[in-house]
Structure 1
Amino acid sequence: MKAIKITYWATTTIVALMMTYSAYAYLTQAAMLQAFNHLGYPGYFRVELALAKLAGAALLLIPLKSLIKEWVYAGFTFTFISAFIAHSASGDPVNYRVMPVIFLVFLAVSYITYHKVKQATTKNPAL
């Protein structure tokens, strides 16, 4: 059980940190405005997505056992899949396409281990 908890917190922290960093970059770096224009997105979407990423990262790290966390996982899943599609459709280099897939794998591991930890603590609240 200890290995599952460590895996859960490690992958969850990596995803949350990456989402926080990308939100920060969206709000502070002029290159991100150009990147969003390149992908065909309006400027306000960059700010909207940054705020959603910050909220999602915070909710992912808070020890909730509710439907809210499921929505955060779903939202981040859509975000990573959409990023892969957008970068692929606009002809971006392979590393731009691969990174969302890598973080989607981290998110999937986080999600799977979240449910394993949740199930174990439901059976034995002392864990």
Structure 2
Amino acid sequence: MTKRNKIIYWIATIWLALGMLSTGVVQLFRAKAGQGGVDSIIHLGYPVYFLTIMGIWKFLGVLTVLIPKFPLLKEWAYAGFFFAMTGAIFSHIATGDSVIEIFPSLLLLILTIVSWYFRPADRKVILANQ
């Protein structure tokens, strides 16, 4: 892995972790207002208990992406982030939200893809037939 790719990976991964952790905390504490809070989740048509589920998953996903080893578990964490963010984007689009309200989810989706793409070899799943 080149130094450039390693820098890109760590910048994207740290920003992804901070974004997922901060929104996960907002969701776990069920903040009234703000991105991903109670008002937002109700506006999108989801039950409030969904905040707890998403908050826990985001926290566990951040831990998984940051700790060494467990490449298969990392794949699942990245997939979970991908599905959560694409779901959030399409939920905002379906309710007619503006681009400003869609942007945080879109940014986290981009960071997820960049972090996954530039991850080091020891964080990738290696198939037996390769």
Q: What is the TM-score of this pair, normalised by structure 2?
A: 0.84
User: Matches of 2:95 and 2:26 in 1, distance apart?
Assistant: 20
Kindly indicate which of the two structures has a greater share of residues assigned to helix. 1
TM-superposed CA distance for 1:43, in Å, is: 1.1
Aligned ranges 1:9-88 → 2 under 5 Å: 9-28=10-29, 29-31=31-33, 32-88=37-93
Please say if residues 65 and 74 of structure 2, whose CA atoms lie closer than 8 Å, have aligned partners that are also in contact.
Answer: yes
1:118 is aligned to 2:121: yes
Is the Cα contact below 8 Å between 1:77 and 1:104 reproduced in 2? yes
Q: CA deviation at 1:65?
A: 4.5
Name the SS of the counterpart of 1:92 in structure 2: coil
Deviates more, 1:92-101 or 1:7-16: 92-101
The 10-residue stretch of structure 1 (7-16 or 29-38) with the greater mean CA deviation from structure 2 = 29-38
Identity %: 35
- CA shift at 1:109, angstroms? 1.1
Aligned AA (1:53): K
**Among candidates 106, 111, 114, match of residue 106 of structure 1:** 111
RMSD: 1.3
Letter in 1 for 2:102: R
Asked whether the 8 Å contact 2:28–2:56 carries over to 1, the reply is: no
Gaps of 5+ in 1: 120-127
In structure 2, the gaps of 5 or more residues are: 123-130
Residues 65 and 118, structure 1, Cα contact 8 Å, conserved in 2: no
Give the drift of 1:96.
1.3
The aligned length equals: 117
The alpha carbon displacement at 1:111 in A equals 0.8
The 2-side partners of 1:57 and 1:11 are apart by 13
* AA in 1 matched with 2:90: I
Moved over 2 A (4+): none
Q: TM-score when scaled to structure 1?
A: 0.86
- Which 10-residue stretch deviates more, 59-68 or 16-25? 59-68
Check the 8 A contact 1:12/1:106 in 2, yes or no. yes
Q: For 1:30, what is the secondary structure of its paired residue? A: coil
